[in-house]
Structure 1
Amino acid sequence: MKIALFGATGRVGGEILSLLLKNNHYVTVLVRNPEKLKPHVNLTVIKGNARVKSDIEKTLDSVDGVISALNTDQTTVLTEAIAHIISIMEKQNIKRIVTIGTGGILSSRVNPELLRYQSSESKQKSTVAAKEHHKVYDMLKETLLDWTIICPTYLPTGATTNAFIIERDRLPIGAVQTTTGDTALFAYKELMESNHIGHRVGIMSPK
């Protein structure tokens, strides 16, 4: 497959990139700093900005699917980029997208009518990132794309355990953390297997 990956120099995105290349996929990435990436025969690197629609058009040229591991960076870069990605995917008839979100946009167990970041279930003091991811969730819901949002909780840099637990639309009970390795592995598997189209998926790593 030929995959477009956004956020390839980030903690989760870098691990997703490694998995894609290890499994012989062709990957096109859009990054501001290409020097952060090691050359690979299956890797096409485009220097640019995820806020710029023409840069995203180049990245999505002739791809089969999309993964976004973009961070919010406490700005609107995430929502700006996703708006462009959605528009171009629809124009080019690309159906599949997996994004990395946050556990804050999963449904609350204590207040089912709310998302976790809106409820007493969340311990986060700042809601800036969650609000951006919430906007992405709302945008994707309005499309006919085959979307899945992977929603880790506290996200330390850590190895793949392959013993993670998932739950559709809610955070698994007892979730404390989700390693970057497990988040990347599940995102890769979901892109390949498409088991949770149209859902947010909570994920937790074993303690």
Structure 2
Amino acid sequence: MAKIALIGASGNVGSKILAEALNRGHEVTGIVRNPEKLPGHPKLTAVRGDVFDATGLAKLLAGHDAVISAVHYTASDPALLLQAVKASGAKRYLVVGGAGSLEVAPGKALVDTPEFPEIYKEEASKGRDFLNILRDTTDLDWTFLSPSAIIAPGERTGTFRLGRDQLLIGADGQSRISQEDYAVAMIDELEKPAHRQQRFTVGY
């Protein structure tokens, strides 16, 4: 079993990743602004952390096999996150990515289409920036997992498809994944790495 540091463990997606990791028997340190928001669990240690304090964060991440970050791009700084992960000595870094950087046509990202909702544009653009920074990072074992266009609370089915840089569209014409199945794909990747220094995506 792995020792995982999960940054943003109380968020919408972070809480699903936390549940999936604990259900599979991993030890998790949940790093959040408000530790009291995390559930009690024998394999969970809840700690307070600040994503803008690279030195303090590195100390919290030290001693873990892997770091998963599930934080909003508009509420964090990728350079500081990378600095903290590298300084911590953690072997792997898995990032909850966004769908905006996925291609809908050769060379055309979802975030650049006219129908992309304006309200999500800043977050999606910063997510793409983070992915580009990771792609230039050669001294870290990273993985960036983009969800489908729609990611919402739902069922844990364990049945989904994986892709690389193209937006996945289901048989119903929708691009979607439940937060629960997204978490399954993330912990699958943690347990059996198949996308080292790569982005991949998950959808129905």
Normalization by structure 2: what TM-score?
A: 0.88
2:141 is aligned to 146
C-alpha separation in 2, matches of 1:199 and 1:65: 16
Does 1:195 pair with 2:191?
Answer: no
Structure with the higher fraction of residues in strand conformation: 2
**Paired position in structure 2 for 1:49:** 50
Deviates more, 1:169-178 or 1:12-21: 169-178
- CA contact under 8 A between 2:33 and 2:49: conserved in structure 1? yes
The answer as to whether partners of 2:102 and 2:110 remain within 8 angstroms in 1 is yes
Q: How far apart, in 1, do the equivalents of 2:61 and 2:143 lie?
A: 18
- Computed over aligned residues only, the root mean square deviation of the Cα atoms, in angstroms, reads 1.8
Counting matched residue pairs gives 197
Asked if 1:124 is matched to 2:102, the reply is: no
User: Deviation at 1:83?
Assistant: 2.0
Distance 2:125 2:23 in 1: 34
Task: Please say if residues 66 and 96 of structure 1, whose CA atoms lie closer than 8 Å, have aligned partners that are also in contact.
Answer: yes
Structure 2 Cα separation of the partners of residues 7 and 188 of structure 1: 15
Q: Does the Cα contact within 8 Å between 1:106 and 1:200 map onto a contact in 2?
A: no
Aligned partner of 1:178 in structure 2 is 177
1:56-135 alignment, distance < 5 Å? 56-72=57-73, 75=74, 77-78=75-76, 80=77, 82-109=78-105, 112-120=106-114, 123-126=116-119, 127-135=121-129
Percent identity, aligned pairs only, is: 32
Matches within 5 A, 1:26-45: 26-45=27-46
The answer on whether the counterparts of 2:62 and 2:89 sit within 8 Å (CA) in structure 1 is: no
Q: Secondary structure at the match of 1:103?
A: coil
Alpha-carbon distance, 1:146 to partner: 1.8
Q: Matches of 1:61 and 1:128 in 2, distance apart?
A: 31
Give runs of aligned pairs for residues 1-16 of structure 1, distance below 5 A: 1-16=2-17
Contact 1:30/1:50 (CA < 8 Å) preserved in 2?
A: no
Structure 1: 5+ residue stretches without partners: none
1:108-128 Cα shifts (integer Å, max 9, x gaps): 32xx223221235x5322311
Shift of 1:173: 3.0
Cα offset, 1:27, TM superposition: 1.1
- State the Cα distance separating 1:182 from its structure 2 match: 0.8
Query: What is the TM-score with the length of structure 1 in the denominator?
Result: 0.87
Cα distance in 1 for residues equivalent to 2:56 and 2:89: 18
Match of residue 21 from structure 2: 20
In structure 2, distance between residues paired with 1:39 and 1:63? 20
- Displacement of 1:158 after TM fit? 0.9
> Structure 1 pair 91/51, CA: closer, same or farther in 2 (3 Å)?
closer
CA distance in 1, matches of 2:133, 2:59: 22
Uncovered stretches (5+) of structure 2, i.e. residues with no partner: none
1:105 and 1:7 mapped to 2: Cα distance?
A: 21
